[in-house]
Amino acid sequence: MPIIINLDVMMAKRKMSLNELSEKVGLTLSNLSILKTGKAKAIRFTTLEAICKALDCQPADILEYQS
């Protein structure tokens, strides 16, 4: 898939665990794990907004396009 998810990179930069992010965003660990591993087929803007708010970043810090 040409969309790369860099969620693990941003979590490492912010020194935030998956459990902590899960609590802040309000998503289950399994759903965050699916997103983190790049297996998700879609993401809601509300979810992306919550992740960006929790990690204090921009959507482009998490999502990357490679042809």
Would you say 51 and 62 are in contact if contact means Cβ atoms under 8 Å apart? yes
The token duo for 18 is: 């998956």
Residue 65 lies in a domain: no
What's the number of domains the chain is made of? 1
Question: For position 21, which CATH number holds?
Answer: 1.10.260.40
Is 49's pLDDT higher than 90? yes
Is 23's pLDDT higher than 90? yes
Would you say 62 and 10 are in contact if contact means Cβ atoms under 8 Å apart? yes
Mean pLDDT of the chain: 94
Q: What predicted TM-score, i.e. pTM, was given to this entire model?
A: 0.90
Residue 63 lies in a domain: no
Range of the domain at 20: 3-57
* pLDDT on residue 1: 65
